Structure 1
């Protein structure tokens, strides 16, 4: 099975996702990246992906209304305890070809029941 272990998702900050001053609300961004975090590991589970059991979330900079962000999710570790997914949210800098980090997060998903890989080995 060819499992996608790295993805990039575009995200534009809207008025609904920001406060009265136009700053992106961290809880809105957290909810969005929480959904994206399960994408790189979908192919490893036969049924529903269990809720993450551990996470770290850190805001580095503010984002504003109409900012175009990129949410990058990558499977960084797979072991007998579960899967670790790293998330980085970036914004392109207008003056250069560089990107600045808006936030970062790390999510740990447990092995719960049989995974796709386990059932593949049993065949």
Structure 2
């Protein structure tokens, strides 16, 4: 089965992952996207995907209880020493299909020969 290079994952903000004021906890959002960042590159490794070696995480807006978010993951580049995975978290702003960006992130995962699966169809 081929690994998806781009995915959209739904995510609903609940009371359990919010603070007393109903705001989504940034640490919870970070942990979720850190886990999901591995999806586009899973097929390139023989074993578990190693931890990211570098990341950039920016929060633009708050998310609240009952917000329906979409976490988009995308493999954007393969360098000689790493894969770069871009993440964007959005929510629908209104009924006109406008998306509001909640946060974005860029994760770098190392290419180590001991972890890497030779795949001629890879990027």
Same-fold call, TM > 0.5?
yes
- Give the Cα–Cα distance (whole angstroms) in 1 for the partners of residues 7 and 64 of structure 2: 23
Note the 1:2-41 alignment, pairs <5 A.
Answer: 2-41=2-41
Query: Displacement of 1:4 after TM fit?
Result: 1.1
1:57 aligns with 57
- Give the Cα–Cα distance (whole angstroms) in 1 for the partners of residues 3 and 80 of structure 2: 18
State the secondary structure of the residue aligned to 2:33: helix
- The gaps in structure 1 that reach 5 residues or longer are none
1:83 aligns with 83
- The structure-2 alpha-carbon separation of the partners of 1:67 and 1:45, relative to structure 1 and needing over 3 Å to count, comes to same
Query: Displacement of 1:3 after TM fit?
Result: 2.8
Query: Displacement of 1:52 after TM fit?
Result: 0.3
What RMSD, in angstroms, separates the aligned Cα atoms of the two structures? 1.6
2:93 aligns with 93
* Contact 2:73–2:87 (Cα < 8 Å) also in 1: yes
**Ranges of 4+ aligned residues in structure 1 off by more than 6 Å:** none
* Contact 2:49–2:115 (Cα < 8 Å) also in 1: no
- Give the Cα–Cα distance (whole angstroms) in 2 for the partners of residues 84 and 73 of structure 1: 11
Structure showing the higher helix proportion among its residues? 1
TM-score, normalised via structure 1 length: 0.92
